[in-house]
């Protein structure tokens, strides 16, 4: 999505034609002295007083009944459908004034835009007498990627920070700036805007991780700024707004039901950023419902796009995920990973939220891994199906650690066979017996964290908001969700260090959840 601005006088209106036609009527048919000038006073070489009399006669028809240039309305609609944000930036006379006159001229302009069915997101008024400087500031503050302009002084001021399409007129014939595209009217401006944005994007080349590693800090900062422009200028999925609307509607119904059924205990609400836009939400991942307590905590007005495994597409709930804006990825396909990252980058840089699990997958013992363990270590006369039913609730990370302890002769094969059914409690016993360190236990509560969330925060400037969730959905234990302190990632930060910092924050919160669960159990027992 790009930020695109339209001037009014000379762009949405044909100011040159209006002044020449009405000026000949007012001052005389042969009264034109210099048609290359911008102002009526200079075109007809009249006094300031005569100019004021002219505009006293023609200002109302110009502001109220003058026709908008052909195709302007259609262009605005197409650009909005493509996901761009549209601005009107104008130095129209009197619109920056306080009082009745200023209010009147602003109201007339708004009514005229509405009457001519011109679609826009925001209008910015700049002072007529200082329009070049103020338009420059407006373009800079609002990150305007492209502006359609006609006045030479404004083009001169803006050309270095925004792409410009110049509407041809006698008064701007001597405009000759590099990369300024000139047009006679708005007939093909929609296509030209797309061409300009596409060319701008083509100039930028995405670098591999290896190539980025070779850049200096200053070079990397510049690269990230260009990369942000690149992703912002790429057209957003036209279904995005509809998906976010579906998310809000579904959440307004689903959150109360989820709270009614599961009664989640929520902590750390004060850590959630007030600005619920452009954030990366992350959490540990134990069960298939882990996103829902977090949704319940954030509320329905903070739509987020979940990164989901493409294997979910075969499930019944896939339709819900698709309708509410989930991003599906095949982790075994490099192209799919690239495309999913691009979607998330675009969403973040355009004010949306994304949600992902740094572990990459649910931390529970899958059937293939359980079968490997069964065939390798389990010396009992039993069926695998019975074995798997008993062990499948174990965390994969803890089973892997248990196997590591066996290989290092810290535990025996008999202990392995006996405790494979409840690995977590066995590891806690090993901590109590001082056979393993407490830090080693907590290190293996989760699967290794991938760098994706931290890398995107580094590249986009987005805020990471961590959560910790336990897996108590369908048992008598309390469901607990906790939000931690937000994290910012600087360009100079090391990905591995920041990822470990993120993991430690979530581990600490998970520990807090466990201790809270224990305290509730103790209270219940003491009653």
102-150, pLDDT tens digit by residue?
999 999 999 999 999 999 999 999 999 999 999 999 998 898 989 999 9
Task: Give the confidence band of 466 by pLDDT, cuts at 50, 70, 90.
Answer: very high
Distance CA 371, CA 387 (A): 9
Given a cut of 80, whether residue 158 has pLDDT beyond it is yes
- Please give the Cα distance from 497 to 68 (Å, whole number): 57
Read off the tokens for 183.
């047009």
Percent of the chain with pLDDT over 90: 68
Tell me which of 296 and 233 has the higher pLDDT: 296
CB atoms within 10 A of CB 287: 17
pLDDT for res 70: 95
**What confidence score (pLDDT) does residue 379 get?**
63
Q: Is the pLDDT of residue 381 over 80?
A: no
Distance of alpha carbon 108 from alpha carbon 8, whole angstroms: 13
Query: Which residues in the chain are classed under CATH 3.40.50.1000?
Result: 3-201
Number of H helices, E strands in the chain: 22, 13
Helix 217-233, helix 334-349: angle, nearest 10: 90
**Total-model pTM:** 0.65
Specify the range with the lowest mean pLDDT, choosing from 52-66, 172-186, 408-422.
Answer: 172-186
Tell me the pLDDT tens digit for each residue of 482-517: 999 999 999 999 999 999 999 999 999 998 998 899
Token pair of 194, please? Answer: 């797309």
Q: Region 432-445: what's the mean pLDDT?
A: 90
Determine the pLDDT at residue 234.
73
Q: Are 263 and 340 in contact (CB under 8 A)?
A: no
Collect contacts of 340-345 with beta carbons under 8 A, ≥24 apart: 340/307, 341/452, 341/456, 342/231, 342/234, 343/237, 343/305, 344/305, 344/307, 344/456, 345/231, 345/456, 345/459, 345/460
Q: pLDDT class for 100, splitting at 50, 70, 90?
A: very high
- Provide the pLDDT for residue 312: 82
Q: Tell me where in the chain the CATH 3.40.1010.10 domain(s) lie.
A: 240-362+448-526
Lowest-confidence pick of 66-70, 228-232, 365-369, 380-384:
380-384
Cβ burial, residue 493 (10 Å; 0-12/13-18/19+): middle
Task: Let me know if domain 3-201 sits in CATH 3.40.50.1000.
Answer: yes
Fold of 240-362+448-526: Cobalt-precorrin-4 Transmethylase; domain 1 (3.40.1010)
Q: Is 364's pLDDT higher than 90?
A: no
The CA distance from 134 to 128, in Å, is: 9
């Amino acid at each position: 999505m790009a930020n695109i601005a339209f001037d009014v006088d000379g762009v949405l209106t044909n100011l040159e034609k209006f002044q020449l036609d009405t000026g000949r009527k007012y001052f005389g048919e042969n009264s034109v002295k210099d048609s290359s000038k911008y102002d009526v006073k200079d075109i007809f070489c009249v006094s300031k007083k005569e100019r004021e009399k002219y505009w006293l006669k023609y200002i109302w028809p110009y502001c109220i009944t003058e026709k908008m240039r052909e195709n302007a309305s259609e262009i605005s609609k197409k650009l909005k459908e493509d996901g761009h944000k549209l601005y009107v930036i104008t130095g129209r006379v009197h619109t920056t004034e306080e009082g009745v006159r200023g209010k009147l001229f602003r109201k007339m302009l708004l009514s005229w835009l509405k009457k001519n069915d011109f679609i826009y997101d925001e209008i910015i008024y700049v002072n007529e007498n200082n329009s070049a400087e103020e338009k420059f500031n407006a373009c800079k503050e609002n990150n305007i990627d492209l502006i359609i302009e006609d006045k030479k002084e404004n083009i001169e001021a803006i050309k270095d920070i925004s792409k410009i399409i110049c509407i041809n007129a006698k008064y701007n014939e001597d405009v000759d700036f590099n990369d300024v595209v000139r047009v006679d009217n708005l007939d093909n401006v929609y296509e030209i805007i797309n061409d300009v944005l596409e060319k701008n994007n083509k100039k930028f080349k995405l670098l591999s991780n290896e190539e980025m590693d070779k850049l200096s800090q200053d070079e990397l900062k510049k690269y990230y700024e260009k990369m942000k422009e690149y992703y912002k200028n790429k057209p957003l999925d036209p279904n995005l707004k509809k998906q976010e609307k579906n998310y809000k509607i579904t959440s307004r119904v689903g959150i109360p039901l989820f709270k009614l059924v599961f009664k989640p205990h929520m902590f750390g609400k004060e850590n959630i950023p007030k600005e619920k836009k452009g954030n990366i939400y992350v959490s540990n991942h134990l069960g298939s419902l882990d996103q829902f307590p977090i949704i319940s905590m954030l509320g329905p007005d903070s739509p987020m796009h979940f990164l989901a495994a493409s294997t979910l597409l075969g499930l019944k709930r896939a339709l819900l995920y698709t309708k509410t804006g989930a991003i599906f990825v095949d982790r075994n396909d490099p192209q799919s990973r690239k495309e999913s990252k691009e979607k998330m980058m675009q969403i973040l840089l355009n004010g949306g939220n994304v949600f992902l699990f740094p572990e990459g997958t649910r931390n529970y013992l899958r059937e293939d891994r359980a079968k490997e363990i069964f065939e390798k270590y389990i010396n009992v006369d039993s069926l695998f199906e019975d074995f798997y039913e008993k062990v499948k609730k174990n965390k994969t990370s803890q089973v892997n650690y248990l196997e590591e302890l066996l290989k290092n002769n810290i535990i025996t094969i008999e202990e392995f066979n006996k405790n494979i059914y409840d690995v977590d409690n066995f590891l806690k016993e090993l901590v109590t017996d001082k056979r393993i360190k407490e830090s080693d236990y907590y290190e293996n509560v989760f699967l290794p964290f991938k760098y994706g969330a931290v890398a995107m925060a580094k590249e986009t400037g987005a805020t990471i908001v961590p959560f910790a969730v336990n897996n108590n959905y369908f048992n008598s234990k309390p469901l607990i969700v906790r939000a931690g302190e937000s994290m910012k990632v600087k360009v100079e930060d090391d990905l591995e260090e920041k990822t470990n910092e993120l993991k430690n924050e979530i581990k600490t919160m998970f520990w807090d959840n466990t201790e809270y669960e224990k305290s509730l159990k103790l209270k219940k027992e003491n009653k």
